[in-house]
Amino acid sequence: MGGGMTTVERTQVFLLPDLGEGLSEAEIVEWRVAVGDVVTVDQSVVEVETAKAVVDVPCPYAGRVVTLHGAAGEVRPVGQPLITIAPLDGGDEPAGHATYREEERAGSGNVLIGYGTGHGTATRRRRRPRLAVAPEPAEAGPTGVAAGAASSDPAPPTAALVISPIVRRLAREHGVDLDTVRGTGPGGVIRRADVEAALTAPAARLAAVPDPQVGSAPVGDGDGDVIVPLTGVRKVIADKLSRSRREIPEVTIWVDVDATGLLETRAAINAATPDAPVSILALLARICLSGLRRFPQLNSRVDTEAQHIVQAAGVHLGIAAQTDRGLLVPVLRDAQRLTTAELAAELAATTAAARAGSLPPARLTGGTFTLNNYGVFGVDGSTPIINHPEAALLGVGRIVDKPWVVDGQLAVRKVTQLSLTFDHRVCDGGVAGGFLRHVADCVERPALLIAAV
């Protein structure tokens, strides 16, 4: 991933690098350094949030920090200045470090923390975040740094101590006045848990906090419309779903199934292997993998430019996960190679990482089929939109007690609804119906799944 460098009076300006996967901007979450700090090659200098993940950005230069271009909460475009570094007094560099790495000289740029540099022998201590008052919106000085950011004298607090723009967004969306929230983080920083606690507190003083970047139009009673900017992950979701609806002639079919046998099978598995519990989602994933082996047409995509259908060699299974940053679809590559226990462990770890915002962008792309358990929201059914450019998506509703006929007798069973949305260009109803029926049969009679694997 390429960054960039310009030199003015022996200073080096590190440009926000290309974060990959078509991402053109990133929001500054937290600076790891301050003006005047001495940094070494590959030291993490800032945490940024893209539309897909939160990542640490390392600086490929060594020296003293002269300028931080942007404040927490500010969106910076790729290729624009991020941090300016000057040589140490006398032009000396820290011992053992080059001014910038050979990769930068060659134009390849640096890599993001967590993606590997191939030569990480030294252990660097994570810097403790510097706490600073962050009024919203931050006023930028002539260098692009929030006013007062370069001052070494602590200023008296004039606003709530909030570092994360995610916390600000959560408060704004729910109308929480941050000045009334007591922060429990280091130095009194307000965390997400503090805002959530304020939402449930009976005496919480709530007030609509309009977005100062957007503003709101007044209405007759003096209140304002809430304006939600279509940026970041929300914009990516909107663009992708709109493209899916524009390009894919989708059809949705559904069926009600008796999931009692599946729940009983899960209970038996977990009783036999208590140290490696298996979730219902993992069993549904295993059933989908069995269905895709029988009906590979649904594990494909349409290449409109080449005018052909590409059936994937492996199943890169996407799992829809609702997070504080919006709906994300992390991908388990070559899921067909995993055992059911491995599927369960990978699903748990992947969804947890997605909700924490720690997945790299590469883990959020490249899926070939998506499984969406929207039953966790307490709904029975849906007509899901295909995750472009995939060709199909299976949705699962909540599992509830319903009357069901068993062997000619009315009984109360655990019933759920399965919905399959598919691209009609890759197959006709026979294939889609065959896949959905196979999935339904395996849910109702898990022994069929064992016979098919």
In this prediction, residue 357 carries a pLDDT of 81
In this prediction, residue 309 carries a pLDDT of 96
Catalytic residue among 174, 388, 424, 438: 424
In this prediction, residue 223 carries a pLDDT of 67
CA-wise closest residue to 74 among 28, 32, 136: 28
Counting beta carbons within 10 angstroms of the beta carbon of residue 192, is it exposed (0 to 12), middle (13 to 18) or buried (19 or more)? Answer: middle
Cβ atoms 319, 350 nearer than 8 A:
yes
> Collapsing DSSP states into helix, strand and coil, what is residue 394?
strand
CA distance 299 to 313: 9
Cβ atoms 106, 100 nearer than 8 A:
no
Q: What Cα–Cα distance (Å) separates residue 244 from each residue in 302, 373, 386, 390?
A: 12, 20, 6, 9
pLDDT digits (tens, 9 = 90+) for 20-79: 656 778 888 899 999 999 999 889 999 888 766 778 889 988 999 999 999 988 888 888
Cβ atoms 274, 414 nearer than 8 A:
no
The pLDDT profile of the chain, 453 residues, written as one tens digit per residue, is 445 544 445 789 999 987 765 677 888 889 999 999 999 988 999 988 876 677 888 998 899 999 999 998 888 888 899 999 998 865 544 443 444 444 333 333 344 443 333 333 333 333 434 433 333 333 333 333 333 333 344 444 445 666 565 677 777 767 787 878 888 765 677 877 777 777 766 444 333 333 434 333 444 444 678 888 777 677 778 888 899 999 999 999 999 999 999 999 999 999 999 999 999 999 999 999 999 999 999 999 999 889 999 999 999 999 999 888 778 899 999 999 999 999 999 999 999 998 888 888 888 889 999 999 999 999 999 998 999 999 999 999 999 999 999 999 999 999 999 999 999 999 999 999 999 999 999 999 999 888 766
pTM of the model: 0.58
Query: Length of the chain, please?
Result: 453
| 79: alpha, beta or left? (left if phi > 0; alpha if psi -120 to 50) | left
CA distance 290 to 310: 19
CA distance 256 to 263: 16
In this prediction, residue 160 carries a pLDDT of 63
In this prediction, residue 55 carries a pLDDT of 81
Counting beta carbons within 10 angstroms of the beta carbon of residue 181, is it exposed (0 to 12), middle (13 to 18) or buried (19 or more)? Answer: buried
Give me 157's structure tokens.
């607090």
Q: What Cα–Cα distance (Å) separates residue 275 from each residue in 98, 266, 271, 286, 450?
A: 49, 14, 9, 20, 22
E strands in 60-180: 63-68, 75-77, 81-86
How many other β-carbons are positioned within 10 Å of the β-carbon of residue 9? Answer: 6
> Collapsing DSSP states into helix, strand and coil, what is residue 139?
coil
In this prediction, residue 168 carries a pLDDT of 74
> What dihedral do alpha carbons 247, 21, 359, 126 form, nearest 10°?
-160
Backbone angles phi, psi at 262, to 5 degrees: -65, -40
Q: Is residue 17 reached through a cis peptide bond, with omega within 30 degrees of 0 on the bond before it? A: no
In this structure, are strands 409-423 and 250-258 parallel, antiparallel, or unpaired? antiparallel
Verify whether residue 424 is a known catalytic residue: yes
